[in-house]
């Protein structure tokens, strides 16, 4: 008897069938897939426009089977604002790292959020500048060694890491703000639901939705993939707690 | 229990990060001993371990490179048929 199989898990349609340039164990690939799964589930692939940032996530157009605009460093929320305002029926999202969103693009993200632009922002926080060589970012943890803080981040001199999800949740214009991680199957499933909800927020109620995803950077942390993955739970989550910090407009919709 | 489920690990996508080995609740996935075309040591599953796979797909959900495809047998388990 020939065994009949049913595929229960595979590559989402919105993700191109190509290998990524990400380092082994980097969570970017997982987060890309979760975004693509949300697009498939909501059936919005044909009307989704991505806005790529500068950093390791710069090749968004090579990995997602959707239209993508490349923004100047940190300016993805400003570019997304323009795209969304002229194409109101399309779903617009930005995908930014912490060096892009929390440092160079701090002004753009805060004002786009405060204006309540109907966009979705996927914020990948790996506590360092990945592509440029592991420099200290605003999200770098206290005492964390980076190429520009070789003796560890000194909070007396450099301040404390910024908790973006909490900061943006305090703004009136924000409909949904959450922080998730992708270091375990349980967290990945929860992160998938959060990203799905964020896109759904935009589709249903047209609010500004923000998902911060804690991620690894094994190469710049100087760790192998498994140790880097373990660091998310041991060091990052204690400082960057997971949770939903605001879910205003979406809750009213009964989503 | 023996099962007929199947996972396929695409060697050309696997970068050998080993995250799937800790995701599998039964510890069925191991690392291979030879390099793949990318120069990484890919993940693999032995036929003996594959027979214990429940097709929960947690390995595939964890894989950052979407290298794993999971198939569930729809014609019943070997135990049920015998």
Cβ distance of B18 and A8 shorter than 8 Å: no
Q: What is the mean pLDDT of residues A148-168?
A: 96
Q: What is the mean pLDDT of chain B?
A: 91
Cβ distance of A22 and B68 shorter than 8 Å: no
Residue linked to tokens 């805060």: A110
Q: Which of A3, A224, A93 is nearest to B78 (CA)?
A: A3
Cβ distance of A1 and B74 shorter than 8 Å: no
- Whether A34 contacts A86, CB under 8 Å: no
Could you give the CA distance from residue B35 to residue B16 in angstroms, rounded to a whole number?
9
Cβ distance of B19 and A225 shorter than 8 Å: yes
CATH of the domain at A120: 3.40.50.970
Share in percent of chain B as helix, strand, coil (round to 5): 20, 15, 60
- Assess if residue A5 is contained within a domain: no
Distance from CA of B38 to the nearest CA of A (A): 10
Could you list the residue range(s) of the whole structural domain that residue A78 is in? Answer: 28-142+160-250
Rg (CA), chain B: 13
| Paired tokens of A5 | 């199989």
Q: How confident is the model at residue B82 (pLDDT cuts 50, 70, 90)?
A: very low
Helix (H) or strand (E) holding A202: helix A185-205
Domain count, chain A: 1
Q: What is the mean pLDDT of residues A193-215?
A: 95
pLDDT tens sequence across B5-41: 999 999 999 999 999 999 999 999 999 999 999 999 9
pLDDT tops 80 at residue A254: no
Distance from CA of A230 to the nearest CA of B (A): 10
Interface ipTM:
0.91
- Tell me the chain B residues in contact with residue A2 when contact means C-beta distances shorter than 8 Å: 75
- B32: which DSSP letter? -
Burial (CB < 10 A; 0-12, 13-18, 19+), residue B26, is exposed
When scoring B8, B11, B17 by the number of chain A Cβ atoms within 10 A, the one with the most, hence best to mutate, is B17
- Assess if residue A166 is contained within a domain: yes
pLDDT tens sequence across A102-121: 999 999 999 999 999 999 99
Residue linked to tokens 């120069």: B39
pLDDT tops 80 at residue A152: yes
- Assess if residue A17 is contained within a domain: no
Q: Which of A48, A51, A49 is nearest to A74 (CA)?
A: A51
pLDDT at A3: 81
Q: How confident is the model at residue A206 (pLDDT cuts 50, 70, 90)?
A: confident
- Assess if residue A177 is contained within a domain: yes
pLDDT tens sequence across A37-76: 999 999 999 999 999 999 999 999 999 999 999 999 999 9
Could you give the CA distance from residue A232 to residue A216 in angstroms, rounded to a whole number?
7
Q: Which of A44, A50, A46 is nearest to A32 (CA)?
A: A50
Distance from CA of A19 to the nearest CA of B (A): 6
- Assess if residue A23 is contained within a domain: no
- Whether A102 contacts A70, CB under 8 Å: no
Q: Set out the domains of chain B in order of their start, with CATH numbers.
A: 6-75 (3.30.70.20)
Q: To 10 degrees, what angle do helices A106-114 and A76-86 make?
A: 40
């Amino acid at each position: 008897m020939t065994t009949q199989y049913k595929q229960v898990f595979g590559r989402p349609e919105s993700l191109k069938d190509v290998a990524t340039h990400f380092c082994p164990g980097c969570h970017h690939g997982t987060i890309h897939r979760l975004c693509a799964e949300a697009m498939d589930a909501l059936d919005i692939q044909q009307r989704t426009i991505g806005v790529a940032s500068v950093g390791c996530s710069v090749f968004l157009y090579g990995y997602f089977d959707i239209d993508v605009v490349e923004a100047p460093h940190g300016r993805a929320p400003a570019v997304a604002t323009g795209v969304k305002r002229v194409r109101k029926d399309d779903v617009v999202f930005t995908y930014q790292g912490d060096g892009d969103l929390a440092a160079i693009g701090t002004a753009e993200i805060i004002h786009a959020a405060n204006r309540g632009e109907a966009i979705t922002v996927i914020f990948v926080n790996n506590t360092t500048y990945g592509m440029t060589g592991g420099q200290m970012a605003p999200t770098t943890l206290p005492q964390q060694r980076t190429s520009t803080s070789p003796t560890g981040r000194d909070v007396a001199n450099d301040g404390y890491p910024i908790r973006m999800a909490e900061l943006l949740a305090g703004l009136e214009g924000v409909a949904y703000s959450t922080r998730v991680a992708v270091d375990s199957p349980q967290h990945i499933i929860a992160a998938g639901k959060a990203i799905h909800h964020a896109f759904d927020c935009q589709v249903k109620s047209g609010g500004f939705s923000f998902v911060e995803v804690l991620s690894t950077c094994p190469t710049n942390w100087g760790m192998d993939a498994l140790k880097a993955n373990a660091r998310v739970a041991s060091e990052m989550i204690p400082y960057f707690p997971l949770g939903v910090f605001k879910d205003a407009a979406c809750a009213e919709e009964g989503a | 229990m023996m099962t007929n489920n199947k996972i396929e690990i695409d060697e050309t996508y696997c970068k050998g990060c080993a995250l799937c080995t800790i995701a599998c609740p039964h510890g069925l996935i191991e690392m291979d001993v030879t390099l793949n075309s990318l120069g990484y040591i890919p993940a693999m599953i032995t036929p003996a371990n594959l027979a214990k796979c429940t097709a929960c797909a947690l390995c595939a959900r964890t894989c950052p490179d979407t290298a794993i495809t999971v198939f569930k047998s729809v014609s019943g388990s070997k135990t049920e048929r015998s």
